[in-house]
Amino acid sequence: MTSPILTSDFDYSLPSELIAQTPIEPRDHSRLMHLDRNLGIINHHIFYDIGSILRHGDLIVLNNSRVIPARLIGTKANTAGAVEVLLLHREGIGMWKALVKPGHRLRKGSVFTVDNVAVDILEEHPDGIRSIYIHDESIIHKAGLVPLPPYINTPLKDKERYQTVYAKNEGSAAAPTAGLHFTNELLESLKLKGVRIAEVTLNVGLASFRPVKTNTPNDHALHSEYFEIDNIAANEINAAKSEGRRIICIGTTSVRVLEQAYVLCQQAGATYLTSISGWANIFILPGHQFRLVDGILTNFHLPKSTLLMLISAFGSRDFILDAYQKAIYERYRFYSFGDAMLIT
């Protein structure tokens, strides 16, 4: 009998000084670790050398979601108590799902203000999540802050540095950080090499950074994130698959889009990928059979996180954790502003 997957199987110890606090400049001068699954070898590069690893005909899939200034600081009506809000996704005009703190004091019917704009708590959901109504959504861009992860303590001088150069569709509460390494010039050089590019959208929300607190991952509730694939991207992906060309996802968010879309299209009776939108709640764990993904570019992830579990499903847990130990030994930079790993 196969032993159950445990959250502790994906733990590792990281020296705090390896948590990147600021991004590398220029973007494409970060380090790149290449894991070859077939040969079981690990090589070290600078990111701008990624063209030497990618092949003519490879299709790279980018998540073009743009981070909104999703962190709002307000005060509770009547008490002036501090309120912190992380906007997760928009549900209608003024209507948002959001993570609020302190949740125990922000119940249904509560009102707080952000820069004198009223915000109503409409519904309560588990884990501090609320349905809220913002009376004037312009306050988001006027008063909202870039929602940097809690392990980054250094203020960001340039807000655009937490956006990919190809970010278009607003809606994310966190950046698809694997894409932060690309410059426009590097993308153009890849096109000249014959690498093709497809863009999809997944609005990064709570699912990507909520820690797994259960003993077994299967008991962890994975929140849904909205995604879209248009006809152009679907056709590019179908063509690459039918022609035997590699599909390389830039970031775990792109992986989730493709694998979720495949499942939904299959359930609808399609034998190929179609233009589709919906909610991604697929939880990819070791044992998952990847249908569309041949390679993943990703950053180094938090211990016991769903993202570490996802890449362990693709590259094998032992191989991935061995690579992480090598990255620690080689003093790679970890997490959102850190270095990159390409698994093929």
User: What are the pLDDT digits (tens) for 317-337?
Assistant: 999 999 999 999 999 999 999
| 247/204 same-domain check | yes
CA 41 to CA 130: how far, in whole Å?
A: 46
| 126/163 same-domain check | no
The token pair that represents 324 in the structure block: 């992480």
| 78/217 same-domain check | no
| 178/274 same-domain check | yes
| pLDDT for 1 | 46
Give me the CATH number covering residue 119: 2.40.10.240
| 228/188 same-domain check | yes
The token pair that represents 335 in the structure block: 């997490």
| 90/202 same-domain check | no
One DSSP character per residue, 23-48 reads: --SSGGGSEEEEEETTTTEEEEEEGG
Helix (H) / strand (E) element for 211: namely: none
CA 55 to CA 69: how far, in whole Å?
A: 37
**What residues form DSSP beta bridges with 120?**
111, 133
Question: Kind of pairing, strands 82-92 and 71-76?
Answer: antiparallel
The token pair that represents 336 in the structure block: 């959102």
Size of the chain in residues: 344
Q: Give me the domain span that covers residue 91.
A: 71-143
Q: 151: Cβ–Cβ under 8 A, 6 or more apart, which residues?
A: 19, 335
| 166/287 same-domain check | yes
Residue 158: exposure state from Cβ atoms within 10 A (0-12, 13-18, ≥19): exposed
Question: Has residue 320 been placed in a domain?
Answer: yes
Phi, psi (deg, nearest 5) at residue 126: -60, 160
For residue range 50-86, list pLDDT tens digits in order: 999 999 999 999 999 999 999 999 998 777 789 999 9
Give me the CATH number covering residue 23: 3.40.1780.10
Tally of domains within the chain: 2
Q: Which of 19-28, 119-128, 243-252 has the lowest mean pLDDT?
A: 119-128
- Whether a cis peptide bond, with omega within 30° of 0, leads into 102 is yes
| 269/329 same-domain check | yes
| 171/22 same-domain check | yes
| pLDDT for 209 | 63
Last residue of a domain, one of 120, 143, 166: 143
On whether the CB atoms of residues 160 and 58 are closer than 8 A, the answer is: no
**What residues form DSSP beta bridges with 258?**
none
- Whether a cis peptide bond, with omega within 30° of 0, leads into 15 is no
Overall pTM surpassing 0.75 (yes/no): yes
The token pair that represents 149 in the structure block: 């992860």
| 55/113 same-domain check | no
| 160/111 same-domain check | no
